[in-house]
Chains A and B, each alone.
Chain A
Amino acid sequence: MTSEPYTPVIVGFLCNWCSYRAADLAGTARLTYAPTMRPIRVMCTARVEPQFVIKALREGADGVLIAGCHPGECHYVEGNIKALRRYTLLKQMLRQFGIEEERVQIVWAAASESKVLADAVDQMTLTLQALGPLRWRQTVLNGHGAEQAVRESADVRRAALAAQEVEGER
């Protein structure tokens, strides 16, 4: 993967009752962490529809972080368990699209756990830096690949002929 230094963009969906407060606390406590997350406040992690995550990735995010209350502590009883089910399946599906698992993460951070949240952002930033930018629009949605297809089909042919030569020499 490319490892040109870049500042990743993380879209963070933070639960109003815990992780958003954790982010607030990180601020008042003057914790220093990577300035890579764009926080979006939601009422519960269960509000984060898979469509939001996919849209963020399509529109330029390099990663998405979902942060909410610990299981058992959701304000709406089991919203975060529903979120975990969605997230688990969504990740399996995103893998098939060539999107690395690490680009979508979930973390449980209670209102008092500002350090947990800050660490998660730091960690994710490092991971995304290692993975390189996603740039879905530019790299995947850009054009329908007519030229690419022509070029590649010539490559396939060359590769097949080369493989046969090797085979023949044996």
Chain B
Amino acid sequence: MTNKETSPAGNGKPKLAIYWAASCGGCEIAILNIGDKILAVDEAFEIVFWPCAADFKYEDVRNYPDHSIDLCLFNGAIRSSENEEMAHLLRQKSKVLVAFGSCAQEGCIPGLSNLTSASDTFRAIYMDNPSIDNPAATLPQTVTTVPEGELHIPVFYNTVRSLDQVVPVEYVIPGCPPEPPQIWAVLEAIVTGAPLPAPGSTVIGASHLAVCHECPLEKHEKTIERFYRPYEITPEPGLCLLEQGLMCMGIATRGGCGALCPRVGMRCEGCYGLLDGVEDQGANMISAIASVVNVGKPGDDEAELERRIGVAMDSIVDPAGTFYRFNMAHSLLHRVKTGNNGDVQNRGSETA
């Protein structure tokens, strides 16, 4: 099994792999953003696979002995057959596999395409795109025959999955992307041999409290009549954004980032994922919103009550895309229902 030539060199250092699947590259940048500490990482680990930064081939990894990689930081979601194959390969070769960043943890922005289908996505990109002229209706084909033989490209799946929906992972580092000080804290703990919590999709490098807990904005009792999109109002500085009718997800989002966004007047979009004990971030957010929207009183006429609440909730544009901006692939419903022809049924109201 072990191939001396191709197995990672045995210089005694723990071996580190970093991989990107369906990702934007931001997680890789976040790792580099630990600054000169990256030198400490290089000193402590032997890097055995990092396609973004060094020239390794998949074949190299295939030739490593099983469990020979001590730590693998895997960013990106599982969108294609290539992503899936690499997830299995790196699982097999790694002792500790970490879902690094929101895409690997919960699907993140790529996961939003679970609100549509692969065929609709292709249609939007290769056909209906205003900047595209595609008279031959050329679409990516998994197999193409050319004079030299058959060419294969990975299958583009209908549904985006998180890493732990494909293989078990020991740890999860949340964030889009994870904050560099949090990344360093985790790597430092590993380098110094500090004890890690028990493995099993365990969240590390983040807080166990909500973003609101880290947010310095002044909070009062929240009584909102309607919601606004960020361009519609200029928030009063220093005041909780949710109170002002901006859909701040901090209330249903794990802290760890230091409330970066609300600090600068931007609503939290939820990138650190769901809180401990919550199974569905969107459902959690709906609960929270029902408590802060102050429309309807016990004495109201029943029909009038329904109408007024309907109006308040109608001011929320695209609830699924907002509440599951990062968590769609990991949500309980996972994806939309599509018909036999792949068209999304009930595309919903104008808010969809």
Interface residues of A (CB under 8 A from B): 49-51, 53-55, 57-58, 70-72, 74, 77-78, 81-86, 88-90, 92-93, 95-100, 108, 136, 139-141, 143-146, 148-150, 152-153, 155-157, 160-161, 164
Interface size class of B (residues with CB under 8 A): 35 or more
B2 within 8 A of A: no
Having A55-B280, A95-B348, A160-B127, one finds 4 other A-B pairs with CB under 8 Å, namely A50-B283, A85-B313, A149-B117, A150-B142
Q: How far is the CA of A42 from the CA of B306 in the complex (A)?
A: 22
CB <8 Å contact, B305 and A84:
yes
Q: Is B137 an interface residue (CB 8 A)?
A: yes
Cβ-defined contact, A140 with B337, below 8 A = yes
Taken together as a complex, chains A and B put the C-alpha atoms of A92 and B297 apart, in Å, by 22
Q: Is the CB of B158 within 8 A of A145?
A: yes
Q: Of all chain B residues, which has the CB nearest A86? A: B290
| B135, A93: Cβ atoms closer than 8 Å | no
Asked if B34 is an interface residue, CB under 8 A from chain A, the answer is: no
The contact sample of 29 A-B pairs, CB cut-off 8 A, is: A50-B282, A50-B287, A51-B287, A78-B298, A81-B309, A82-B290, A82-B291, A84-B305, A85-B309, A88-B313, A89-B289, A89-B313, A92-B349, A93-B282, A96-B318, A96-B347, A97-B337, A98-B337, A108-B302, A140-B335, A144-B161, A149-B157, A150-B155, A152-B117, A152-B341, A153-B119, A156-B139, A160-B127, A164-B137
Within 8 A of A (CB), among B91-122: 115, 117-119, 122
**A145 to B155 alpha-carbon distance, docked (Å):** 10
CA distance A136 to B173 in the complex (A): 30
How far is it, in angstroms, between the C-alpha of A52 and the C-alpha of B286 when the chains are bound?
12
Which residues of A lie under 8 Å from residue B186 when comparing CB positions? Answer: none
Residues of A close to B289: CB separation below 8 A: 85-86, 89
Contacting A at CB under 8 A, from B246-295, are: 278-280, 282-284, 286-287, 289-291, 293, 295
A51 and B306 alpha carbons, distance in the complex (Å):
22
B208, CB-defined interface residue at 8 Å: no
Residues of A within 8 A of B117 (CB): 145, 149, 152
B299–A72 contact, CB under 8 A? yes
Whether a CB of chain A sits under 8 angstroms from the CB of B185 is no
> What is the chain B residue whose CB lies nearest that of A81?
B296
Q: Are B348 and A51 in contact (CB under 8 A)?
A: no
Interface of A is mostly: helix
Interface string of B312-349 (1 = CB under 8 A from A): 11101011110100000000111111100110111111
Residue B351, interface by CB 8 Å: yes
B352 within 8 A of A: yes
Question: B159 within 8 Å of A by Cβ?
Answer: yes
B140 at the interface (CB under 8 A from A): yes
A81-B282 contact, Cβ under 8 Å, with A50-B287, A95-B346, A136-B333: no
Residue contact A81 to B297, C-beta cutoff 8 Å = yes
Cβ-defined partner of B137 (8 Å) among A82, A86, A161: A161
B313 and A96 within 8 A (CB) = no
Establish whether residues A96 and B118, one from each chain, have CB atoms under 8 Å apart when the complex forms.
no
Contact (Cβ within 8 A) B140 A153: yes
The residues in B between 162 and 187 inclusive whose CB is less than 8 angstroms from any CB of A are: none
Q: Is the CB–CB distance between B323 and A145 below 8 Å?
A: no
B188, chain A: closest CB distance, angstroms: 36
Docked-complex contact B342 and A148, CB < 8 angstroms: yes
**Residue from A85, A92, A148, A160 within 8 A of B290 (CB atoms):** A85
